[in-house]
Amino acid sequence: MDREILLKQSNLEVSYDTTNKIMYCTWLGFQNKEKIINSGEKIIELLKSTKCGKVLNDNTSVSGPWQDAAEWTAKTWFPQMEKAGLKYFAWVFSPNIFAELSAQKAKPESEIVSTFHSVYDAEQWLKSNQVIYND
């Protein structure tokens, strides 16, 4: 698997698996609303530029709650992600219960979002779903 690093900052690393056409968003440490909104907007731009339809959103390294950004994530970010071409979103929850509760609160009612407790299971789900790319 070839992964190209697209973004690296203190709270988020985004890479792109060119073979499987999966964007990996690995969130790190404590998050707050400002960090999430700024990072979320960057992810939207990267999704557009890569024309990627699959995202693995890895929260396994997130520490603590971030519920102040949950409503923005569900009601603003996800619709913008879908508009940018998102077809499948695998969300791997943090083992931190407070971070997981925030993620559950932010999860929209959408058939394109599935939740997991392991990166491997999330990858397998994304690989099993086909996206038609119009290059």
Residue 22 has pLDDT above 80, yes or no: yes
Could you report the per-residue pLDDT of 52-101, keeping only the tens digit for each? 999 999 999 998 888 899 899 999 999 999 999 999 999 998 887 777 77
Band of the pLDDT at 133, cuts 50, 70, 90? low
Give the total residue count for the chain: 135
- Contact of 68 with 103, CB cutoff 8 Å: no
What is the C-alpha to C-alpha distance for residues 101 and 67, in angstroms, rounded to an integer?
A: 8
Domain ranges of the chain: 3-128
CA gap 14, 52 in Å, rounded: 13
Q: Which fold has domain 3-128?
A: Rossmann fold (3.40.50)
Q: How confident is the model at residue 45 (pLDDT cuts 50, 70, 90)?
A: very high
Burial 5-44 (b: 16+ CB within 10 A, else e): ebeeeebbbbbbbeeebbbbbbbbeebeeebbeebbebbb
Amino acid found at 62: V
